[in-house]
Homo-oligomer: A and B are copies of this chain.
Amino acid sequence: MTSPAKRRAHVVGLGLIGASLAMALRDAGWDVTGSDIDEHVLNDALREQVISGTVMTAEHELAFIATPAGTVSAIANALLSDFEVGPLIVSDVAGVKSSIVHEVSDPRFIGGHPMAGSELRGLKGAKADLFRGCNWVLTPTDATSPETYSVLHGILRDIGANVVAVSADDHDRLVAIASHVPHLLAGALMNEAADAAEQDAVLLQLAAGGFRDMTRIAAGDPSIWPDVLFENSDAVNSTLVRLEKRLEHLRIALAEQSREVLEESLESASVARRRLPGRALSSEHLTYLRVGVSDEPGVLATVTRAASELLVNIYDIEIAHGIEGVAGTLLLAVDSAQAELFSDALRGLGFGVVRE
């Protein structure tokens, strides 16, 4: 008696995402092979048993292409024509989707984009649970077979992802606003400050929490960005144009001292930001609590231990510093049903607590 043969998957490109995906599938019971243009990476992946082999066969049920956005279409089309017979499903993980789904028109292909990442890079940063709880966008087209979608959806759920289906065009338009343009903005602001700091290093001492928040993503690996931006240049361009208009509008309001325009703009942003879900699935059930704290060692532990003892899950946490100071405020998101209980417990421990 032999156990049933393992399902087989292949991953092209064993960087952070590709290798994490190989590990996630491996841990979900798949036999995972892989390939990479860098022989060292491939050898490392084999040695570390991220993949079991390097050769794709007609028995493979699944292939993920985890290479730079500009190379996906050619690789996908080559795979689809090499393996015309069999149950093959091909998907990718690139951050821009329209051109790819346009160029790979096959019932067995679905574009995908796991909204997961890490400050780390490559095989070394890979981990099997990278996709657990992440939103994984799939962009089916009219060409996609429903069967393909349903099988892929099931596989992604098995590795812990929440599947979200949108059109490739919508995806690209929305990530321009939610990701690509913010990245350019963060870079522009950081460069502006860095230039000013060359004259006046004290600027960096005045750069408080808000500035740090706004420029954090600029610290990431810049090398992946030009391709992503070129692939999505229409949506990025039009978002940038709209944003420049908004800034110009604010600048004019400032010059004209029109308090009303400024207040309205800042107020609507404040309302929208407060409504931004901490996480998609349970946004309406979350309550934000502001807790005044000093940050001696142990304060955070006291707060979180209180949560833990009451079985209160903290969904989100931020420290709002007394700007660069030592004292600050904890912003905690908890289940609304538990907010009162938890607030009372914290007050009992001597903390000031305000519901947002």
> Which of A's residues lie within 8 Å of B, judged by CB?
115-120, 124-125, 127, 129-135, 137, 160-162, 164, 166, 170-171, 173-175, 177-179, 181-194, 196, 200, 202-223, 225-226, 229-230, 233, 236-237, 239-244, 246-248, 250-251, 254-255, 257, 259, 262-263, 265-270, 272-274, 276-281, 290, 292, 294-298, 300-305, 307-308, 311-329, 331, 352, 354, 356
Contacts and interface: CB of A to CB of B under 8 A. Distances in A.
Contacts of A161: 325
Contacts of A242: 192
Contact of A191 (B119, B269, B296): B269
A301 B308 contact: yes
A203 B178 CA distance: 7
B269 A129 contact: no
Contact of A120 (B247, B270, B290): B290
A120 B292 contact: yes
20 contacts: A115-B324, A118-B292, A135-B206, A160-B326, A164-B205, A182-B189, A185-B185, A192-B239, A192-B246, A204-B277, A213-B213, A216-B273, A220-B270, A223-B263, A226-B266, A229-B254, A297-B307, A300-B304, A317-B317, A317-B319
Given A184-B247, A210-B179, A318 B174 contact: no
Contacts of A243: 188-189, 192, 247
A221 B184 CA distance: 26
B254 A202 contact: no
Nearest to A205: B280
Contact of A206 (B137, B207, B220): B137
Contacts of A316: 319, 321
List of 7 A-B pairs having minimum Cβ-Cβ separation, nearest first: A133-B325, A134-B325, A222-B266, A133-B326, A187-B269, A194-B272, A301-B304
Given A203-B177, A266-B222, A325 B185 contact: no
Contact of A254 (B177, B187, B230, B259): B230
A117 B322 CA distance: 5
A134 B324 contact: yes
Contacts of A324: 115, 133-135, 162, 277-281
A236 to B, nearest CB: 6
Contacts of A160: 325-327
B186 A214 contact: yes
A51 to B, nearest CB: 19
Nearest to A320: B119
A234 B242 CA distance: 23
Contact of A276 (B173, B204, B319): B204
A202 to B, nearest CB: 6
A206 B130 contact: no
A179 B324 CA distance: 13
Contacts of A218: 266, 269-270, 272-273
A213 B211 contact: no
A214 B243 CA distance: 14
A278 B280 CA distance: 30
B262 A292 contact: no
A300 B332 CA distance: 12
B170 A200 contact: yes
Contacts of A203: 174, 177-178
